[in-house]
Structure 1
Amino acid sequence: MARHGKKYYEVIKKIDRDQVYDPVEAIKVLKSVSYANFDETVEVHVRTGLDPRQADQQIRDVVVLPNGLGKSVVVLVFAQGEGADAARAAGADYIVDSEEMVTKIQNGWTEFDVAIATPDMMGTVGKLGRVLGPRGLMPNPKAGTVVQVDNMAVAIEEAKAGRVEFRLDRTANIHVPIGKLSFTEEALRENLAAFMVAVRQARPAAASGNFIRRVTVTSSMGPGLKIDHNSPSLVL
């Protein structure tokens, strides 16, 4: 069975898969060859020279994209008492402050994009690891999703504004969305630049040699285009 449809292969004929594009040019190409009847997500894939088997060569960090992700982000918060009140006031979509909600998640409900928790609720969160972990929804201090009550409003605001977590996977790659194809070229460039700056800043001290080996941008239905990750256009 073919992985892609006829339109995809027609698009492939129009581009040079081996060419390394300037980031702005790559965004223009993705826009020009789009054929989907929905607003595609633009994604970035970074191939690193890290060894994901080594504990001192891991990456897990966050970046706030200046132009957001182009979608409504649903935020769930694990909190009780004052923490729950703060979460509601800050616009959290769901609050886990009862056994009823815990059971709902245990049964597989995950209709939210980001989970935030106060430290005192991490015991409860831990019980839901089987559901949250595989979906990348586990609150984590390194990702800024385990917060004190005083920081709750900022955490929720950033999550809804376009706060994206990125991490090294088992194949030494990093994958993140950076917006929608309907964004202006400049908005996508700014989001891409913000992400690349964050990746460089997250470089592990134990990393040696060629840290970033290849960067590719693509859209939901579009081709992957290699870009020059040292381009001046990726400097904020």
Structure 2
Amino acid sequence: MSRRLRELSKKVEPKAYEPLEALRLLKETATAKFSESAEAHIRLGIDPKYTDQQLRTTVVLPKGTGLTKRIAVIARGEKVNEASTSGADIAGSEELIQEIQKGMMDFDVLIATPDMMPKVASLGKLLGPRGLMPSPKGGTVTFDLAQAISEFKAGKLEFRADKSGIVHVLFGKASFPEDDLLVNLKALQETIDRNRPSGAKGRYWRSVYISATMGPSIQMDINLLRDLKFSDAA
């Protein structure tokens, strides 16, 4: 642990903070020399090795991510032109699949039309470990390219629980106002509740920690966040 992080950690008490207090502390401990993201690390009462306890979905952050996303689209025929005119940074068909196979990964989101998925399947070993493989649940397999591109550019994120049942996801920039971070975090919480796996038993939410990219972990009282009405956070 660096000296900077040790000093910042002294500001964090071993307790579960109420949401706005935790967000203020996150902003206070974001002291790196670059624009840090605000991250949430959420432990859920699920075991993803069972198919009915897996969580993979998307959330649209109302206040955006603060990131500029490069979007690639694999489609066929006129859909390639539609993707380009709708704001895709890269669009192509079989030739784009070949470029990716050769190591071209200059994108943050990959969208594919359903008719191209049999060919995109060959990229599974390359894209899967990076979390870039298109999927219907992630909203990245669709014929409605204009809407998908617009949503991801505006702040839509795909996330999943890892093998330990923990969700790691950013919810904005540490430089955002506290109220904007709260609105985004509330949207994330509601999405996770709405997509609770059918096989999840017992206590669903175990713990929530937030942090800036290079800051210390701050525990948040998840019950207070869940009880918060969205209108209160907006």
TM-score tier after normalising by the smaller chain length: over 0.9
The residue matched to 1:142 in structure 2 has which SS? coil
**Residue in 1 that maps onto 2:186:** 193
How much does 1:131 deviate? 1.2
The residue matched to 2:118 in structure 1 has which SS? helix
The residue matched to 1:127 in structure 2 has which SS? helix
**Residue in 1 that maps onto 2:140:** 145
Q: Which residue, 22, 29, 43 being the options, matches 2:39? A: 43
**Residue in 1 that maps onto 2:11:** 14
Amino acid at match of 2:100: I
How much does 1:98 deviate? 4.0
CA RMSD across the alignment: 1.2
Amino acid at match of 1:84: V
| Distance in structure 1 (CA, Å) of the matches to 2:198 and 2:120 | 31
How much does 1:235 deviate? 3.1
Paired-residue identity, % = 44
| Distance in structure 1 (CA, Å) of the matches to 2:17 and 2:102 | 46
The residue matched to 1:103 in structure 2 has which SS? helix
Q: Which residue, 210, 216, 224 being the options, matches 2:217? A: 224
How much does 1:112 deviate? 0.7
TM-score by length of 2: 0.94
How much does 1:175 deviate? 0.9
CA displacement 1:111-160 (0-9 Å, x = unmatched): 11111000111122111111111100000011111001xx2111000011
The residue matched to 1:178 in structure 2 has which SS? strand
The residue matched to 1:42 in structure 2 has which SS? strand
How many equivalent residue pairs? 229
How much does 1:234 deviate? 4.3
The residue matched to 1:111 in structure 2 has which SS? coil
Unmatched runs of 5 consecutive residues or more in structure 1: none
Amino acid at match of 2:58: V
The answer to whether residue 61 in structure 2 is matched with residue 68 in structure 1 is no
| Distance in structure 2 (CA, Å) of the matches to 1:235 and 1:108 | 46
Q: Which residue, 52, 57, 75 being the options, matches 2:53? A: 57
How much does 1:204 deviate? 1.3
| Distance in structure 2 (CA, Å) of the matches to 1:71 and 1:235 | 27
Provide closer, same or farther for how the CA distance between residues 199 and 94 of structure 1 changes in structure 2, counting only shifts above 3 A.
same
How much does 1:103 deviate? 2.3
Unmatched runs of 5 consecutive residues or more in structure 2: none
The residue matched to 2:137 in structure 1 has which SS? helix
The answer to whether residue 166 in structure 2 is matched with residue 170 in structure 1 is no
Q: Are the aligned partners of 2:138 and 2:158 in contact in 1 as well (CA < 8 Å)?
A: yes
| Distance in structure 2 (CA, Å) of the matches to 1:92 and 1:118 | 13
- Larger mean CA deviation between 189-198 and 166-175 belongs to 166-175
TM-score by length of 1: 0.94
The answer to whether residue 101 in structure 2 is matched with residue 106 in structure 1 is yes
**Residue in 1 that maps onto 2:127:** 132
